């Protein structure tokens, strides 16, 4: 069996556990560690911590886990580990002891550990091709550590309450780093990292189509009771202006190019939906007879009609009616574009 290595970046050191570390670890446990790890007691007993160290030593021997003490200036400040979940994957975890947080030690430690764990076994590393961490959404400090260590946010994993680390846990943010990810010093890699966790907002594109009498083309939808403008969700990487023309073609079989942007309407979270931006484009004025050529996408559209503003107020949700009226006002101002929130 090879000896567990000692790793360092010049500021922090990761080394194997020693028997003398047990008392330091026991004293360093506090409510923060107990909370996020779901421990029943805040301070483990000397016997329990000793048993944990023995398990980590056996884990190194059988290749299932590698656990390190984190040292800074010769003082034990925390611990970190990688637990092998399959032949190619390791799961990261870390903890800083009371009085040692907020100084960048965890980020440095996780970076060093991740670099070593993804290095091939022939080069002294552990040779996993994927490292991942599961962090509760409310654990903002650990989310920062993970992202600053080069782990990209991949999504949210839901769990049944009581099956996670804590009884109250219902989901984890999954972050991961692959062995062949470029280093963070590479500009493309750094942008990809930022792109993985910066906020994203859903975009919806709709089209305002009128007839010579000033009525507006509105659709009765299959998935909700009220009526709405034709359009739909903008796909990833798709132009909102092209998206609305595509949606109108798919849903109604009408070939109507989108003109200028009339309205940007912010939609707050509602009914299980995250917030979104709704962009309303000018679809032009057309004869009312264009409805004769409509071929409805039955999965989404029940019917489509030109409605007066009064009819819009009767059939549409109040925020939809406000949005349509705001778009009509913007249309009356040449070159104007309006911003609203829920139509206001």
Q: What is the CATH number of the domain that holds 71?
A: 3.40.630.30
Helix or strand run (H / E) with residue 252: helix 240-252
What are φ and ψ of residue 134, in 5° steps?
Answer: -110, 120
309: Cα separation from own chain's centroid: 39
Q: What is the mean pLDDT of residues 110-122?
A: 86
Per the domain annotation, does 45 fall within a domain? Answer: yes
Distances, alpha carbon 116 to alpha carbons 14, 129, 187, in Å: 11, 11, 22
Mapped onto helix, strand or coil, the DSSP state of residue 13 is: strand
Banded pLDDT at 265 (limits 50, 70, 90): very high
Q: What is the CATH number of the domain that holds 270?
A: 3.90.79.10
Best CA proximity match to 68, nearest among 7, 143, 27, 126? 7
Residues 48 and 167 in one domain: yes
Per the domain annotation, does 71 fall within a domain? Answer: yes
Condensed to tens digits (0 to 9), the pLDDT of residues 10-44 reads 999 999 999 999 999 999 999 999 999 999 999 99
Question: Which two tokens mark 282?
Answer: 């000018």
Dump the DSSP string for 162-187. Answer: TSSSSTT--EEEEEEEETTSPPTTSH
Residues 189 and 257 in one domain: no
Q: How far apart are CA 216 and CA 124, in angstroms?
A: 69
Per the domain annotation, does 1 fall within a domain? Answer: no
**pLDDT above 70 for 332:** yes
Residue 108 has a CB neighbour count (10 Å cut-off) of 22
Of 148, 163, 197, the position where a domain reaches its end is 197
Domain extent at residue 311: 202-341
**pLDDT above 80 for 124:** no
> What pLDDT is stored for residue 121 in this prediction?
64
Question: Which two tokens mark 170?
Answer: 């219902």
Residues 110 and 252 in one domain: no
Percent of the chain with pLDDT over 70: 99
Dump the DSSP string for 62-121. Answer: HTSEEEEEEEETTEEEEEEEEEESSSSEEEEEEEE-TT--SSSHHHHHHHHHHHHHTS-G
Residues 184 and 233 in one domain: no
Residues 35 and 108 in one domain: yes
**pLDDT above 70 for 331:** yes
Residues 218 and 130 in one domain: no
Q: How far apart are CA 318 and CA 312, in angstroms?
A: 9
Residues 138 and 272 in one domain: no
Residues 35 and 179 in one domain: yes
Condensed to tens digits (0 to 9), the pLDDT of residues 201-214 reads 899 999 999 999 99
Residues 177 and 215 in one domain: no
How many folded domains does the chain comprise? 2
Q: How far apart are CA 154 and CA 288, in angstroms?
A: 47
Residues 212 and 239 in one domain: yes
Per the domain annotation, does 2 fall within a domain? Answer: no
> What pLDDT is stored for residue 339 in this prediction?
93
123 or 308, greater pLDDT:
308
Residues 220 and 167 in one domain: no
335 or 55, greater pLDDT:
55
Dump the DSSP string for 115-166. Answer: HHHTS-GGGTS---SEEEEEE-TT-HHHHHHHHHTTPEEEEEEE--TTSSSS
């Amino acid at each position: 069996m090879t000896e567990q290595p000692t790793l360092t970046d010049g500021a922090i050191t990761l080394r194997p556990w020693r028997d003398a570390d047990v008392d330091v670890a026991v004293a360093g446990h506090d409510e923060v560690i107990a909370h996020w790890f779901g421990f029943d007691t805040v301070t483990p007993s000397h016997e329990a911590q000793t048993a944990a160290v023995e398990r980590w030593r056996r884990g190194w021997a059988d290749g299932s886990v590698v656990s390190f003490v984190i040292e800074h200036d010769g003082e034990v400040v925390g611990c970190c580990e990688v637990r092998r979940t399959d032949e190619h994957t390791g799961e990261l975890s870390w903890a800083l002891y009371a009085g040692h947080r907020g100084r960048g030690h965890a980020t440095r430690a996780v970076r060093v550990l991740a670099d070593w764990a993804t290095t091939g076994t022939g080069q002294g590393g552990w040779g996993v091709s994927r490292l991942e961490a599961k962090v509760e959404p409310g654990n903002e400090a650990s989310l920062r550590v993970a992202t600053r260590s080069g782990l990209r946010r991949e999504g949210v994993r839901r769990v049944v309450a009581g099956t996670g680390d804590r009884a109250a846990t219902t989901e984890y943010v999954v972050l991961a780093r692959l062995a062949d990810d470029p280093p963070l010093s590479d500009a493309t890699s750094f942008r990809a990292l930022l792109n993985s966790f910066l906020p994203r907002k859903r975009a919806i594109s709709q089209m305002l189509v009128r007839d010579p009498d000033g009525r507006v083309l509105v659709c009765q939808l299959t998935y909700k009771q009220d009526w709405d403008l034709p359009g739909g969700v903008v796909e990833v990487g798709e132009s909102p202006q092209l998206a609305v023309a595509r949606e109108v073609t798919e849903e109604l079989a009408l070939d109507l190019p989108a003109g200028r942007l009339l309205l940007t309407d912010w939609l707050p979270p509602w009914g299980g939906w995250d917030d979104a931006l709704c962009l309303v484009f000018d679809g032009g004025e057309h004869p009312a007879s264009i409805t004769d050529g409509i071929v409805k996408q039955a999965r989404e559209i029940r019917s489509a009609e030109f409605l007066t503003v009064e009819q819009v107020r009767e059939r549409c949700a109040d925020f939809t009616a406000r949005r349509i009226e705001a778009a009509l006002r913007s249309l009356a101002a040449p070159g104007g574009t309006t911003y609203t929130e829920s139509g206001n």
